[in-house]
Amino acid sequence: MPTSLERLLSRASSSLNDQSPALTDYLYRSAGSLADSLLSLLQDRNGFYAFESALHVFPSHSSQQ
């Protein structure tokens, strides 16, 4: 049975950034006990939209265009 996160990602857009995610020291400290979970999510999908763009999860860093 898929987890809630797996179900969310199955309905979400593709990754918004193709680079490997990286958390700055500041962000890692700010995220506290959720830092590892955040990094894991970003490794699965580095930024995405879901629910007709009502949910926007930002990638770990901006894309250079």
Q: Cα angle at 51 between 48 and 57, to 5 degrees?
A: 25
User: In this predicted structure, what is the pLDDT of residue 2?
Assistant: 85
User: Per residue of the chain (65 residues), what is the pLDDT tens digit?
Assistant: 889 999 999 999 999 999 999 888 998 999 999 999 999 999 999 999 999 999 999 998 876 65
Domain positions in the chain are: 4-57
Whether 60 contacts 23, CB under 8 Å: yes
Model confidence, pTM: 0.82
